[in-house]
Amino acid sequence: MTAKTRLRLRMQVVLHMVMAFVVALLMAQLWLFTVTLEAMESREASVSIVMAALAFSALACAAVWALIRFFLRAEAQQM
């Protein structure tokens, strides 16, 4: 196995880990979106619920971009 192949396999593993995290965060964002829609349609639902959902969604979005940046930077350093 050449050094280049080893590197490619290692980056593949890192990519899979990053993808697992990103997919989990996207699922969480989808759930938060449905919670916000439910709260939007219900007059009884408190505004604090939708504000909390928005804050967590923003946090998840930032985490997704941070993970992507981490992966792309790691890839660039290895190449």
Partner 1 sequence: MPDSVRWKEDFPVPSAEDSYATRREFTKFLGLTSVAFLAGTCAAVARKLWEQVTAKATTAVAVASLDEIPAGGSKLFRYPTENDACILLRLAPEKFVAFNQNCTHLNCPVHFEAESSQLVCPCHHGFFSAEDGKAVAGPPRRGLNALTVSLRDGQVWVQHDS
Q: Which residues bind partner 1 (CB under 8 A)?
A: 15, 18-19, 22, 25-26, 29-30, 32-33, 36-45, 47, 50-51, 53-54, 57-58, 60-61, 64-65, 68, 71-72, 75
Backbone dihedral region of 46: left (phi > 0), alpha (psi from -120 to 50 degrees) or beta?
beta
Work out how close the CB of 41 gets to partner 1 at its nearest, in angstroms, rounded to a whole number: 7
Work out how close the CB of 77 gets to partner 1 at its nearest, in angstroms, rounded to a whole number: 14
Largest CA distance in the chain: 63
Work out how close the CB of 37 gets to partner 1 at its nearest, in angstroms, rounded to a whole number: 5
